[in-house]
Structure 1
Amino acid sequence: MKSDDIKKDYESGVDLVKKRYLPKGLDLLKQIEDFSPELADVIVRQGIHEIWQNKTPSLSMREKELMVLASIITDNTVQFEVALHTENCLLLGVTKAEILEMLVLLTLYVGQPKVLNCLDAVKLAFANFDEHQKK
């Protein structure tokens, strides 16, 4: 792949990040870019551009984001990501009621402790989203 194509694909991924994330998501991307441009490339160009945009065209962004949120709640190790992807769901039109119902459903499949462990992150995301909506 040519250098210009790589740059174009990376910029396409960044554009999607700008649409999907509240400002703190962009701050996180800048931190990753500053820390390791190679890691940023894997996340943005290969992950967001290639997989989110090109390899999964049948799924809407809303559906993808709900799947990601459910999977990271199941993993139960990345609370920051739970908050970030909860915010993304809300930005894509998923309602708080739908997210809460997902938590109820996940309790059946992944267990009460995992769901309870993510509640603070979900509450924080709800508050961040509400604050963002006021602006």
Structure 2
Amino acid sequence: MNDDEKTRDYNKAVAAFAKRYLPYKQPLLKTIENFSPELADVVIRHGLYEIWEEMTPLLSYRDKEIATLAALITDNTVMKEITAHTENCLIQGMSKKEVLEILTVLTLYIGVPKIINVMDAVKQAFENYDQHIKNKG
């Protein structure tokens, strides 16, 4: 892949990110880029474009967000990401009730303590999303 193709794909990833994340998350990409252009290439171009856009065309964004949220909750170490991907589930049309049902199912596989541990992150996502909707309207 030449540099022009990498730049094109990077820019497509930035555009896709803008559609999938709440506005307050938009500066994150520039923060990653300023910290390390190499890390930005892996996270943004490869992760957000190649994997999310090109390599997984059969899965909807909603499906990808459900899988991502379940994986992050199972890991149980990155609360900011759990908040962000809960918000993304809502952006993709999931209801809060559906998110809560994901938590209920996960209790069988990862245990109640991990679900209790993520409750604040999920509540924060609900609040952020509600505020976003209120600000739009």
Task: Give the TM bin, normalised by the shorter chain.
Answer: over 0.9
Q: C-alpha distance in 2, partners of 1:123/1:27? A: 22
User: Deviations 1:13-64 (Å, cap 9, x if unpaired)?
Assistant: 1111000001222121121111111111101111111010111111000000
**Corresponding residue for 1:64?**
64
Q: C-alpha distance in 2, partners of 1:30/1:57? A: 27
**Corresponding residue for 1:32?**
32
Q: Is 2:110 aligned against 1:110? A: yes
Q: C-alpha distance in 2, partners of 1:38/1:24? A: 24
Spell out the pairing of 1:1-135 with structure 2 (5 A cutoff): 1-135=1-135
Q: Structure 1: state its 5+ residue gaps.
A: none
Q: C-alpha distance in 1, partners of 2:49/2:74? A: 25
- What is the CA-CA distance between 1:133 and the residue it aligns to? 0.2
**Alpha carbon RMSD of aligned pairs, Å?**
0.7
Q: For residue 59 of structure 2, give the secondary structure of its aligned residue in structure 1.
A: coil
- For 1:28, the aligned partner's letter is L
- For 2:42, the aligned partner's letter is V
Using structure 1 for the length normalisation, give the TM-score.
0.98
Extract structure 1 runs of 4+ deviating beyond 2 A.
Answer: none
Aligned residues: 135
Q: C-alpha distance in 2, partners of 1:3/1:29? A: 19
- For 2:108, the aligned partner's letter is L
Q: For residue 26 of structure 2, give the secondary structure of its aligned residue in structure 1.
A: helix
- What is the CA-CA distance between 1:125 and the residue it aligns to? 0.3
Q: Structure 2: state its 5+ residue gaps.
A: none
Q: C-alpha distance in 1, partners of 2:116/2:127? A: 18
- For 1:30, the aligned partner's letter is K
Using structure 2 for the length normalisation, give the TM-score.
0.96
